[in-house]
């Protein structure tokens, strides 16, 4: 069976494992390099990217993760996980680094204090009906590289037009938390991507 790991040092781990199980893959928490080596793909959950960066280093996962990404492992980064996947970030703290791999610039905490957390219905070409998305101190994508596909943008309000879901080949990233609403379509989309390789 396809095994998809969830980076489990920090963030919304249990919820992602449940959604992955729902879409029929073997869902595995990843805390050590040996666990990373056993999975076909990985979810980087929401949480706090500065903490994830530090913990990935102290648990000696940072370099193995970068190597797997460079070798083509599919990764789904959500919220802080999107930040971790970005080649470039703005609004990071001093010394903050990302794993990189995704040719985008992501702004941390982009939606500002007024709307630190909010919900919105998003359109995805792959889905027949809107996807209800929960944003928590969320980033947005400010620049996309040539080969990066924009999957969804905010439709209305002060942040209308902001990019909140992207894909480049095997890397998928959302500004919001797809594990929190019980809608497994994005996990299903990712699982299909992994199974199709
Ligand atoms: N603001 C957080 C960060 O910079 C991300 C928030 C989240 O994952 N919900 O890591």
What is the complex's ipTM, to 2 decimals? 0.96
What is the whole-number distance in angstroms between the Cα of residue 135 and the centre of ligand 1? 9
pLDDT of res. 46: 96
Q: Output the CA 34–ligand 1 centroid distance in Å.
A: 27
Instruction: Please tell me whether 48 is known to bind a ligand.
Output: yes
Read off φ and ψ for residue 146, nearest 5 degrees: -50, -40
Which of 28, 72, 104 has its CA nearest to residue 194? 72
Alpha-carbon span 8 to 14, nearest angstrom: 9
> Are 2 and 39 in contact, with CB atoms under 8 Å apart?
no
- The CA–CA distances, whole Å, from 125 to 9, 116, 149, 190 equal 33, 27, 11, 15
Pocket flag, ligand 1, residue 108 (CB < 6 Å) = yes
Q: Which residues are catalytic?
A: 79, 177, 179
Give the predicted TM-score (pTM) of the model.
Answer: 0.97
Q: Which residues of the chain carry a pLDDT beneath 70?
A: 114-115
In short, whether 88's Cβ falls inside 6 Å of ligand 1 is no
CB of 47 shorter than 6 A to ligand 1: yes
CA of 98 to the centre of ligand 1 (A): 13
Task: Look at residue 158 in the predicted model and tell me its pLDDT.
Answer: 87
Q: How far apart are CA 40 and CA 36, in angstroms?
A: 9
Ligand 1 centre from 79 Cα, in Å? Answer: 6
Rounded to 5 degrees, what angle do the CA atoms 132, 191, 14 make? 65
Query: What is the CATH topology of the domain spanning 3-195?
Result: Rossmann fold (3.40.50)
Which of 53, 76, 80 should be mutated for ligand 1, with most atoms under 8 A from CB?
80
* Residue ranges covered by each domain of the chain: 3-195
Give the number of the atom of ligand 1 that is nearest the alpha carbon of residue 49. 10
Q: Report the pLDDT value the prediction gives residue 112, as an integer from 0 to 100.
A: 82
pLDDT at 127: 98
Report the residue count for the chain: 197
Write out the two tokens for 92: 């990071």
């Amino acid at each position: 069976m396809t095994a998809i790991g969830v980076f489990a040092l920090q963030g919304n781990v249990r919820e992602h494992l449940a959604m992955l199980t729902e879409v029929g893959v073997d869902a595995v928490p990843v805390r050590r390099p040996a666990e990373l080596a056993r999975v076909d793909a990985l979810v980087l959950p929401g949480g706090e990217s500065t903490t994830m960066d530090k913990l990935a280093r102290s648990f000696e996962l940072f370099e193995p993760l970068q190597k797997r990404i460079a070798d083509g492992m599919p990764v789904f980064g959500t919220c802080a996980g999107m930040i971790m996947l970005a080649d470039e970030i703005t609004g990071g703290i001093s010394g903050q680094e990302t794993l990189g791999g995704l040719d985008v610039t992501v702004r941390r905490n982009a939606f500002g204090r007024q709307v630190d957390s909010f919900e919105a219905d998003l359109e995805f070409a792959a889905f027949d009906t809107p996807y209800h998305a929960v944003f928590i101190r969320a980033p947005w994508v400010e620049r996309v590289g040539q080969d990066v596909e924009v999957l969804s943008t905010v439709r209305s309000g002060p942040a209308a037009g902001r990019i909140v879901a992207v894909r480049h080949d095997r890397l998928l990233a959302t500004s919001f938390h797809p594990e929190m609403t019980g809608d497994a379509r994005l996990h299903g989309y990712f699982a299909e991507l992994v199974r199709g390789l």
